[in-house]
Amino acid sequence: MKKTKIIVVSLLVMILLLSACTDVKKDVLTEPRYEDLWYGSEEGRVYENEKIAVITSNRGFYIYDYDSKQVVKEYHVDVKKGFDIEAEVGKVRFHLDKVLEKLSISAFSVEGDLSKYHFVYDIKADTVEKKDGNLPDEYIDPQEAIQTTYMGEDLQGYSFKSKLKNEEIFPFKDRDYKFDLDI
């Protein structure tokens, strides 16, 4: 009888734990939208360490691996669903912790911060964690970012000049994707 009670209690605890766990990554990150690299009020920015470069846009990010010389992970940030807000004009702010290889993601607009929390994307583990509080402006250093450039109407002309590798990098050179330039 005592063993049965222990098993029942253990099962109930497991069920409660499983129901409490939600896939945060699925809520905030979706398939990449390459138009994010092209459109928007800001050019893309690149943050790098010795191993990777994180290419960011208004609403997405792409992880470029220097060893394999290719984009290994790419995501669009769903501002509406991920941050539980109604703003269509929301942009995303990023900060890369170069040592831990974690990318902090917060939402903002011209009116200010759009959310009371932010997300931390662990690049190595490919997981997302929700944290209280939005990223303060001083946490973001746009001066350390590398500007991107693009020539033409496809991803193959998209590039950045790596400060650490001292070379021009074309992260999407093998992609056959054309931007729709019709306005």
pLDDT at 18: 44
pLDDT at 150: 73
What average pLDDT does this structure show over 75-96? Answer: 76
**pLDDT tens digits, one per residue of 122-136:** 999 999 998 888 776
Q: pTM of the predicted model, to two decimals? A: 0.76
Residue that wins the pLDDT comparison between 45 and 62: 62
Q: How confident is the model at residue 20 (pLDDT cuts 50, 70, 90)?
A: very low
Helix intervals (H) in 77-119: 79-82
What average pLDDT does this structure show over 160-183? Answer: 79
Q: Which residues contact 55 (CB under 8 A, 6 or more apart)?
A: 37, 44, 45, 46, 61, 62, 63, 64, 71, 148, 160, 171
Q: How confident is the model at residue 169 (pLDDT cuts 50, 70, 90)?
A: very high
Domain ranges (residues) in the chain: 26-169
What average pLDDT does this structure show over 169-178? Answer: 82
pLDDT at 16: 47
Q: How confident is the model at residue 14 (pLDDT cuts 50, 70, 90)?
A: low
**pLDDT tens digits, one per residue of 87-141:** 556 678 888 888 888 898 888 766 666 677 888 999 999 999 988 887 766 555 5
**pLDDT tens digits, one per residue of 40-58:** 556 678 888 899 999 988 8
pLDDT at 26: 80
DSSP E strands in the chain: the ranges are: 29-30, 45-48, 52-56, 60-65, 70-77, 91-97, 102-109, 112-113, 117-122, 127-132, 146-150, 158-162, 167-169
